[in-house]
Chain A
Amino acid sequence: MCLAVPAKLIRQDGQQGIVDLHGNRLPVNTMMTPEAKPGDWILIHAGFAIERLNPEAARETFALLEEVDRTSGNSDYRPDAQQNTATPAVRGDMS
């Protein structure tokens, strides 16, 4: 119903954060995840972080996501991938 994507929080200033999403930097509002810290993986939906992902429960998922991503030829998904500071196209979809 509502697509949210996992991204890594890399900077935070009050309720404003910057995430790394597939190598791009995106602004994100973190008012709904006040416990999130830089380095955490968070779910982004419509410009808001809606949850901090639980690294324990997510380890297997992340391994799968990274592997799926690598096999589909996009290696930027890796948390340690080279950063690309280009502004991404804004999709503006709620999905």
Chain B
Amino acid sequence: MSSTHAFTDNLLQRLREAAAAIGQNVAFMEVCGTHTTSAFRCGLPSVLPPNVRLISGPGCPVCVTSQGDIDRLIDLGARRDVILCTYGDMLRVPGRHGNLENARVRGGRIEVVYSSMDAVKLAQKQPDREVVFAAVGFETTAPATAAAICEAQRLNIGNFSVLASHKRIIPAMRALLTDGEIPKIKGFLCPGHVSVIIGSEVYQSIVDQFGVSCVVGGFEPPQLLSALVCLIELVVNNKTALVNQYPEAVHARGNRWALTLLEKIFEPGAARWRGMGTIPDSGLILRSDYQSFDAARRFNLPEPQEREPAGCICGKVISGAALPGQCRLFGRACTPISPIGPCMVSSEGTCSAWFKYGKSNQRTIPPAHLNELLEVSS
């Protein structure tokens, strides 16, 4: 047996023993879309003991972007005087008037970029066109936007701006624990790559205030399992704690260079989340010195109008209040080929993961079973 298999088997054994020792139902929430897909890809749901639930939270950046912000982005992409640069994930997210791919067919110039810096380079090359960078994502991605703004300023590029809807994860976790409809959870599997930037010690306030453990985890199956075993063993030992199970990448205080960049360009401000409303301090707003890079101001964009696609319950799915199978459109009208909500479009979306990894036959879950899935003892 290879050492990986032996290591994984040992973790699985510990998982089963710890779950049996709890003697009650427990739920944990992963707040990272990459964790969601990694868990499904490696078959984690199938080896979870029946009394342990892993609930997906608001961790997919595309999914949490409010519908109003998406509509605004697509409207901007359709304009002939704009080149809209975006990461590939946003291309197929449906808006009020189709998605960005449709906007491209209608004559909009949409460029998929690998890095925010590519958008700056494009603006430099095409001084007669306005280049807008679609800045979506959590703290992992936001420093790249900040770096692009610094670069555009350094090069004195006047035709570059960003339409920013960056999000901060900790205020969202707090909001979930304060007013969320989610079942009572015993701990968070904290997002590994957001934590690379923000560090692990920022979760301590959640542990202290809410009595919920926070375990930072990596993404390979053994790393994921280690983090989960840690969460369950904390429950067995009747402890709540902050544990960094991804120490090779995550430091207590995060990446100071990235944080300095963020701090220079952005400040915390209220942000709109799909299904969770406006959460104070959960967004990153351009500081006054950099508002000339704000595409919303430059193009005088109207305030976003919030409206969910009819029948789509993505808002509940991303806040852990419903499972994809509870959506009557899941696997019928809404599939990865013809997605209705962002949770089915994004590779990190929970509905997409459910569909891809074998839950597409669970089109609708009988309410009683759903309650059993979601209900956990406190």
Contacts and interface: CB of A to CB of B under 8 A. Distances in A.
Given A29-B147, A67-B4, A92-B112, A2 B141 contact: yes
B248 A93 contact: no
A63 B35 CA distance: 21
A45 B145 CA distance: 12
Interface in A45-95: 45-48, 50-51, 53-54, 57-58, 61, 63-65, 67-68, 71, 90-95
B348 A1 contact: yes
A68 B115 CA distance: 28
B52 to A, nearest CB: 22
Contact of A4 (B33, B112, B117, B196): B196
B112 A48 contact: no
Nearest to A43: B249
Contacts of B59: 1
A94 B64 CA distance: 14
Contact of A2 (B137, B220, B261): B137
B31 interface: yes
Contacts of B169: 1
Nearest to B30: A1
Contacts of A91: 88, 114
A65 to B, nearest CB: 6
Instruction: Bin chain B's interface residue count.
Output: 35 or more
A1 B32 contact: yes
A50 B118 contact: no
Given A61-B223, A93-B87, A67 B196 contact: no
Contact of B196 (A43, A93, A95): A43
A82 B62 CA distance: 36
Given A51-B255, A95-B346, A1 B31 contact: yes
B136 interface: yes
Interface residues of A, number: 33
B247 A54 contact: yes
Contact of A64 (B7, B196, B257, B346): B7
A95 B89 contact: yes
Interface in A1-52: 1-4, 29, 31-34, 43, 45-48, 50-51
A82 B359 CA distance: 40
Nearest to B31: A1
Q: Which of A31, A32, A58, A90 has the most CB of B within 10 A?
A: A32
Contact of B89 (A4, A54, A71, A94): A94
Contacts of B223: 61
B330 interface: no
A1 B60 contact: yes
Contact of B140 (A1, A53, A71): A1
Contacts of B220: 61, 64-65, 68
Interface in B122-172: 136-138, 140-141, 143-144, 147, 169
Contacts of A61: 218, 220, 223, 248
Contacts of A93: 87-89, 347
A38 B348 CA distance: 32
A4 to B, nearest CB: 5
Nearest to A50: B196
B26 interface: no
B33 A51 contact: no
Given A1-B31, A95-B89, A46 B61 contact: no
B257 A33 contact: yes
Nearest to B115: A47
A4 B34 CA distance: 10
B151 to A, nearest CB: 9
The 7 closest A-B pairs by CB, nearest first: A47-B115, A2-B140, A58-B248, A94-B87, A92-B88, A57-B248, A92-B112
25 contacts: A1-B35, A1-B61, A4-B193, A29-B117, A32-B255, A33-B255, A43-B196, A45-B140, A45-B193, A46-B141, A47-B117, A47-B118, A47-B144, A48-B147, A50-B140, A50-B255, A51-B250, A53-B248, A61-B218, A64-B7, A67-B2, A68-B221, A92-B87, A93-B347, A95-B60
Interface of B: 2-4, 7, 31-35, 59-62, 86-89, 112-118, 136-138, 140-141, 143-144, 147, 169, 191, 193-194, 196-197, 218-223, 247-250, 255, 257-258, 261, 346-348
